[in-house]
Amino acid sequence: DMLMDSILFAEFLMWKEHPSLDRSSAFLSRIYREDIGPCLSFTRSELSHLVQSAVENNSLTIEPVAMSAVPMVKASAVECGGPKKCALSGLSRLCKHRIKLGDKESYYYISPSSRARITAVCNFFTYIRYIQQGLVRHDAEQMFWEIMRLRREMNVAKLGFYLTDQG
C-alpha cells in the first residue's frame, strides 16, 4: 500500500470543499507548477501558451491526419508544421495527429510525443472537471489516488515515454 503525502492530501481536501478550475488554490497552483506547466512547455513557447489556454478552456481538438490526403503545404503554413514536422517541438517527426485550437482555422501537426503530453494534461483536466461537476462518486482517498495517477502520467509523458498505437 502506498503512503499518502499528507501535505498533498490536505491541499486536495481543501480544494475539494469548493472545487474550481481557479489556479490560485494551493492544490492547483502546485499541479500547474510541477506538472501542467512543464508538460506543456514546448520549444515553440508562443504556441505552447495557446495550447495550454485551449486545454484549460476545453476547446482543443486532436484528430488523426489522413495520411493519404496530405495537402500541399503553402509557405505561409510553415509555423503549423506538417506531416513530417512537429509544430510544437520544431523537430522532424512523422506527425500522425494535428490539433486545432478553439474555432481557429489553422491546424498544427504534432508528433506522437507532443500528442502524449497534451493528452495527459487533457485527461487530468477532464477528471477534475468531473469532480467539480459532482460526477465522481468515489471517496476522497480514491479521488486523490486517481489524481496522483494522472499527475504521474503527465510526468511520464513529459519525459518522452508514451505508448505508440502498436502497444
Query: Does residue 34 contact residue 5 with C-beta atoms inside 8 Å?
Result: no
Q: Which of 46, 101, 106, 102 is nearest to 71 (CA)?
A: 106
Given this model, what pLDDT does residue 166 score? Answer: 45
Given this model, what pLDDT does residue 87 score? Answer: 95
Given this model, what pLDDT does residue 66 score? Answer: 78
Given this model, what pLDDT does residue 28 score? Answer: 98
Given this model, what pLDDT does residue 69 score? Answer: 55
Residue range 22-38: mean pLDDT, rounded: 97
Q: Is residue 68 predicted with pLDDT exceeding 60?
A: no
62: β partners = 99
Least confident of 12-21, 34-43, 59-68: 59-68
pTM: 0.89
Number of other residues whose CB lies within 10 A of the CB of residue 80:
17
Average pLDDT, the chain: 90
Distances (CA, A) of 88 to 12, 38, 72, 73: 31, 14, 20, 17
Percentage of residues of the chain with pLDDT beyond 70: 89
DSSP result, 29-83: HHHIIIIIHHHT--SSHHHHHHHHHHHHTT-EEEEE--GGGPPPPPGGGGGG-BT
Q: Is residue 78 predicted with pLDDT exceeding 90?
A: no
pLDDT (tens digit, 9 = 90+) per residue, 80-93? 778 889 999 999 99
- The rounded Cα 106 to chain-centroid distance in angstroms is 19
Given this model, what pLDDT does residue 147 score? Answer: 98
Distances (CA, A) of 73 to 80, 81, 97, 105, 119: 9, 9, 16, 15, 26
Given this model, what pLDDT does residue 167 score? Answer: 42
